[in-house]
Amino acid sequence: MNFLFRQHQRTFKPHRNIPEGTKQHDLMRHAQNTLGSGNLRLAVQLPEGEDLNEWIAVNIVDFFNQINMLYGTITEFCTEITCVLMTAGPKYEYHWADGQTIKKPIKCSAPRYTDYLMSWVQDQLDDEMIFPSKIGVPFPKNFLSISKTILKRLFRVYAHIYHQHFKEVVMLKEEAHLNTSFKHFVYFIQEFSLVEKKELAPLQELIDRLTTKDH
């Protein structure tokens, strides 16, 4: 049973490729080009004349895929035995609830929590009513609220990796990749006020350290 769960847990599929010729594909290309310049503050800014919801949607897909990949590198170290609870250091513990199948928050291991979380995000991304892929289909009125919940939850995976698995990240020589990805994420959520400051508390010291260099 545990083996099956671990196998399932390793195989999150990257989100659908954004089709060429669509607005979202152009935005994704713009994001990649500005990221290439190395200026992360500039890279997160809304391109002139573009729709904020489209921009948030494209970036959420990107962060989901990045976090998926980063977590994938440390799954052998993040197990039911090593990470009995989903924590971010000694002060922060996360319990899972999605408001639908699991309404009351439950304690669970970090790999199980991450599996619930990533599967839940994948479901949101695959829902055409929330993340429309066709041109001209409007985003729902509560899109910003859903986006904030997704980003708040994705942050928890970064927090767990930094607090519980940074040693393994360094061993795998992935720390530069992790730091760049997280810094990009932080600038993005700061630019559009998408995650409350109190939610960022487990990594506030790191956030200050990573971002002060660029002031």
Mean pLDDT over all residues of the chain? 85
Question: Per residue in 83-122, pLDDT tens?
Answer: 999 999 999 999 999 988 899 999 999 999 999 999 999 9
User: Tell me, what's the pLDDT at 210?
Assistant: 86
Judge contact between 31 and 43, C-beta under 8 A.
Answer: yes
Question: Per residue in 56-79, pLDDT tens?
Answer: 999 999 999 999 999 999 999 999
Q: Choose between 117 and 5: higher pLDDT.
A: 117
Task: Kindly state the average pLDDT of the residues 158-174.
Answer: 95
User: Tell me, what's the pLDDT at 79?
Assistant: 96
CATH for 117: 1.20.140.30
Share of the chain above pLDDT 90, in %: 69
User: Tell me, what's the pLDDT at 43?
Assistant: 86
The verdict on whether residue 78 carries a ligand-binding annotation is: yes
Side chain identity, residue 158:
Y
Lowest mean pLDDT among 96-110, 124-138, 173-187: 124-138
The verdict on whether residue 160 carries a ligand-binding annotation is: yes
- Residue 32: exposure state from Cβ atoms within 10 A (0-12, 13-18, ≥19): exposed
Q: Which of the 8 DSSP states describes residue 47?
A: P
Domain tally, the chain: 1
Structure-block tokens of residue 70? 């980063």
**Placement of tokens 């990107």 in the chain:** 62
Structural domain range at position 19 = 2-212
| Nearest by Cα to 63 from 112, 111, 144, 122 | 122
Handedness of CA 163, 161, 150, 95 (dihedral sign): negative
User: Tell me, what's the pLDDT at 204?
Assistant: 96
Judge contact between 30 and 141, C-beta under 8 A.
Answer: no
